[in-house]
């Protein structure tokens, strides 16, 4: 009740100023495929996101309003048809100036062996915690070349909604787990086989890390280069279209 009242009150107060919104759109060419009604709804969602989520600069970095709006716009693209409550697990967004180093990270391989090492990351999502982004990587996102760290990390947050970070987010009524699994397993196996053959696949090899990363990378492609994803992995595109309730490849064609 209070949340709904607060959101109505925020909406009545106004929206993102034109200069900040137009700047975000100009910086993110992949948003150009959106229709005017979609952009208006995205703007409204981003307005609420900026007010509900806490932005925390790190490493002495200063985050201004233009940066907040740009991150909020990209973060709200995946939930355009799902609503802001889909990010109920996100309280804050931590922004680093550049890629950040995570020391002594433990990784368990497919044989159960634990490896410890340092990782240089462009973004990270914590279960029951913040989303962490490198600003330089946000700047490189949503430019129509198959990269969007914001969509990637926030897709992980959607994956976490059912408690498992496994590439299987909570599906909507009418969607079948078996169909989702069949589409993603086939595409994942195809990527792994191509890498094993020494090929240079079109999809980021990082997607082969595990099913969770495969889902997040495919989500990036779905929003940034949707026509390419639809051509390469049509069944994956179809499942993502049903999950996000969007057809960005169709929007791009119409644009």
3-state secondary structure of 49: helix
pLDDT score at 107: 52
pLDDT digits (tens, 9 = 90+) for 219-245: 999 999 999 999 999 999 999 999 999
Pick from 156, 163, 162, 104: which is nearest to 132 by CA? 156
Q: How far apart are CA 106 and CA 192, in angstroms?
A: 23
pLDDT in tens, 29-68: 999 889 999 999 999 999 999 999 999 998 789 999 999 9
Nearest to 125 by CA among 79, 94, 81: 94
Tokens encoding 40: 């208006």
* Residue 116 pLDDT class (50, 70, 90 cuts): very low
Q: Give tens-digit pLDDT for 125-139.
A: 888 789 999 999 999
Question: Domain residues for 73?
Answer: 2-254
Q: Which of 79, 80, 61, 43 is nearest to 133 (CA)?
A: 61
CATH number at residue 33: 1.10.472.150
CA distance 168 to 1: 30
Helix (H) or strand (E) holding 93: strand 92-96
Cα separation, 124 vs 137, in Å, equals: 12
- The whole-model pTM stands at 0.90
4, 15, 119 from 9: Cα distances, Å: 9, 11, 43
Overall number of domains in the chain: 1
From 51, 31, 153, select the one nearest 94 (Cα to Cα). 153
């Amino acid at each position: 009740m209070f949340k709904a009242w607060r959101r109505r009150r925020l909406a009545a107060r106004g929206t993102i100023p034109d200069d900040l919104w137009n700047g975000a759109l100009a910086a993110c060419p992949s948003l150009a495929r959106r229709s005017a009604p979609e952009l208006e709804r995205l703007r409204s969602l981003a307005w609420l996101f900026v007010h509900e989520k806490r932005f925390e600069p790190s490493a002495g970095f200063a985050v201004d309003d233009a940066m907040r709006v740009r991150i909020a716009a990209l973060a709200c693209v995946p939930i355009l048809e799902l609503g802001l409550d889909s990010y109920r697990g996100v309280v804050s967004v931590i922004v680093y100036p550049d890629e950040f180093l995570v020391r002594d990270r433990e990784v368990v391989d497919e044989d159960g062996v634990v490896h410890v090492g340092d990782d240089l990351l462009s973004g990270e999502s914590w279960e029951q915690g913040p989303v962490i982004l490198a600003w330089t990587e946000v700047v490189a996102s949503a430019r129509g070349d198959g990269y969007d760290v914001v969509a990637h990390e926030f897709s992980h947050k959607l994956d976490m909604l059912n408690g498992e970070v496994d590439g299987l987010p909570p599906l909507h009524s009418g969607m079948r787990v078996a169909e989702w699994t069949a589409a993603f397993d086939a595409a994942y196996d195809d990527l792994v086989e191509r890498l094993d053959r020494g090929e240079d696949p079109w999809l980021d090899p990082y997607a082969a890390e595990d099913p969770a990363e495969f889902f997040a990378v495919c989500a990036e492609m779905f929003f940034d280069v949707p026509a390419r994803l639809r051509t390469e992995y049509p069944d994956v595109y179809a499942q993502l279209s049903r999950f996000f309730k969007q057809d960005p490849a169709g929007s791009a064609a119409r644009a």
